[in-house]
Amino acid sequence: MQRKLTYKIAFLIALFFCTSLSFSQSKKQQELEERRQELRREIQQINSLLTKNKSQQKSQLTLIEDLNYKVSVRRNLIKVTNQQANLLTREINDNQNKISELREELATLKDNYSKMIVTSYKSKSEQSRVMFLLSSSNFQQAYKRIKYINQYAEYQKEQGESIKAKTAELQVINTALLKQKADKQQLISENKVAQVELEKELKQHETLMAAINKDVSKYATQIKSRQAEASRIDREIERIIKEAIASSNAKSGTKSTSKSTAYAMTPEDKVLANSFVTSKGKLPWPVEKGIVKLRYGRQPSPIVKTIMIQSNGVRIATEKNAKVRAVFNGEVYRIIGSKNGNPSILIRHGNYFTAYSNLGKIYVKKGDKVTTKQEIGEVFTNPSNGQTMLSFSVFNNSKTENPASWIFKM
C-alpha cells in the first residue's frame, strides 16, 4: 500500500514538473519577449510623437534625427525577434527529440506490459496459484512464493501507471510543441512586416541624407551651435554645484579649497543620499512618456559623423505639455535661468544632484522640498518644429553619471 502511494505521489510530481516545463517559456525566452515588447512600445511612442508633430514644419536636421532613431529601434526589434525565433527553433528541436525518446520508451513499456499480461493470463487461475503454493517444500518457501505473487501483481500495476505517465508526458510535450511552432510562425510574420517598414525608412533616410550632403557645412554649423548651447548649460550647472560644495564645506567648518569636490553633508543629507543610492536603477522617469533621443557620453553625430557630441546627460523626446517629475525626494537647490535658452531646475539629494533643462513652465521655487514623481514643471515645446525635448542629468557631487544607470529601464 505504502509503495503504491509513493509511486502515485512520484507520478503526480513528475506530471506537474513536465507540465510546468513544457508550457512555461525558458528564462531567456521571457527576457527576449520582454525586450521585444519594450521595443514595440518604443516604436509606438516614436510614431505617436511624429504624428502629433506632423503639422509642424520640421527642419531636415530634426527629420533625420527622428528617422535615425526610428531605424535604430526597428533594427533592434528585428534582431531581438530573430533571437527569439532561433531560440524557439532550438526548443522545438529539443522537444521533437524528447518526443522521439518518449515514443521509444512507451513502445518498450507497452511491449513488456503486453508480454507480462499474456504470461499472467496463462497462469491466472486460482487452481494454478494454489498448486504453485502447495508444491512448496516448506513453509518458508510458501511464504516467499506468496510474497512473490503479491509483488508481481504490484509490479503489473506500476507498469500500467508508468505507461499512463509516459502517455501524459508525451501529450503535454506535443501540446507545447504545437504552441512553440505557432509562436515561431507569428514571430516570422511580424519580422517580415518589420523588415518591410525598415526598408521604407532606409529609403527615406537615404533621400534625406542626399539632401543634407549637398550642404554639409550648413548642417555642421547647426549641430555645433546646439552642442555649444548644451555645453554652456552644462558648465553653468557644474559651476553652481561646485559653489554648493564650497558653501557646504564653509558651513560645516571643513577646510575648503579650490580642489574640494565633496559636498559636506548633515546627518539628514547622508540618510537621503544613501536612500538615493539604494534606489539606483529603480528611479522613475522624469516624464511619464518619452524616448531617449540622445544618450550619455561622447559620441559621433548621427548626421555628420566627423563631429563629436559630448552628452553629460540624456535628451528625452516627449509629448506636448508633458509634465516634468522629480525622480526622487530632495530640495530645489536652484532655478537656473538662460539668456539664449530655457530655464533648468537643479534638485539636491544629499550629495547627489539631478538637473532638468529646457523647461517651459516652473512649478517650484528655490528651497522647496519635493517628493518622488512630484510635478516640478513643464517641458518646453519648440513652436518652429513641434519638438518637446527634456535634457536630464545626474551628478555625484560635481561629477556626471549616466542617467540610464539610475532610471528604471532607460
pLDDT, averaged across the chain? 83
| Of 157-171, 237-251, 355-369, the least confident | 157-171
134-174 per-position pLDDT tens digit: 676 777 776 676 676 667 667 667 766 777 777 777 788 88
First to last CA, the chain: 59
pLDDT of residue 145: 67
Q: What is the mean pLDDT of residues 279-304?
A: 92
Whether residue 103 has pLDDT greater than 70: yes
Which residue would you say has higher pLDDT here, 148 or 379?
379
Cβ 385 vs Cβ 59: under 8 Å: yes
SS3 326: coil
Domain boundaries, the chain: 2-213, 216-405
Whether residue 327 has pLDDT greater than 60: yes
Per residue, what are the HEC states of 359-401?
EEEECCCCCCEECCCCEEEEECECCCCCCEEEEEEEEECCEEE
pLDDT of residue 116: 65
Which of the four CATH numbers 2.70.70.10, 3.30.70.1560, 2.40.10.120, 3.90.1300.10 does domain 216-405 have? Answer: 2.70.70.10
24-79 per-position pLDDT tens digit: 557 888 889 999 998 998 888 888 776 665 555 567 777 888 888 889 999 999 99
Of 183, 172, 184, 181, residue with least CA distance to 21: 172
Of 248, 232, 211, residue with least CA distance to 333: 248
